[in-house]
Amino acid sequence: MTSSFPKINSWIKYLEMKNNPFLGNDDIDLGNLTIQLKTELSADDYLELYKEVGRHYIWNYRPSQSKEKVQEIISSNTTQIYYFYDGENSIGFSEIDASNPKDIEIIHFGLIQDHLGKGHGKELFKAIVKRLWDTSPNRVHLSTCGLDHQKAVDFYESAGFEVYKTKENVEFEDYRYSDFYDMSDAPQIPLTGENT
């Protein structure tokens, strides 16, 4: 089924890590930050944080899905949702697809806007990746696109991931034209609806 929302043309880069970088005594300093695996999570709570993080980049996995479908995905025993906290406040999350325990995918990783640029992301991401390698996979992989943070590729490469494939001229739905995001979200991404 094709939506009537305007499209944004961009690229996707696929990155992977095939060797465990945590073979030594790796100290991860989270300071006052904590990571909590959510074993019982409602679609409403998940989508609230998903929107808060994803609105800055028009994240596109969930806007087209029903609340029931989202609940099914996040309740699966092969999905891991980690919330990041600064004290009592949730500041971001990571979503993992471990349906193939030897080939684990990081579906989402992100922080709310107020916690970007503080160095939190680097240590939190390192902690997540270490947890994944503790389960002895053969590979951990993820993808990012041109709508994501402008330093996303550099961020993942600095963590030890390598680009193994790139897709150009990929069309993404502009869900600012839906009721999922607001038209004022992601102002760095030009609106395309006026030209369609």
- DSSP annotation of 52 reads H
Nearby residues of 34 by Cβ (< 8 Å), 6 or more positions away: 84, 85
Give the β-pairing of 103-111 and 89-97.
antiparallel
CA nearest 142: which of 108, 185, 118, 191? 108
- Which domains occur in the chain, in start order? 7-195 (3.40.630.30)
Residue 3: predicted pLDDT: 60
pLDDT at residue 4, rounded to an integer: 79
Q: Using an 8 Å Cβ cutoff, are 6 and 174 in contact?
A: yes
Q: What are phi and psi of 121, to 5 degrees?
A: -60, -40
What's the pLDDT at 29? 75
Average pLDDT per 10 consecutive residues for the chain, totaling 196 residues: 79 96 75 92 96 94 95 96 92 96 97 75 92 95 95 94 97 94 93 60
Give the pTM: 0.92
| pLDDT on residue 10 | 96
Amino acid type, 117:
G
Residue pair 6/171 in contact (Cβ under 8 Å)? The answer is no
Cα separation, 148 vs 62, whole angstroms: 15
pLDDT in the model for residue 135: 94
pLDDT for the residue numbered 49: 95
Cβ contact 155:13 at 8 Å: no
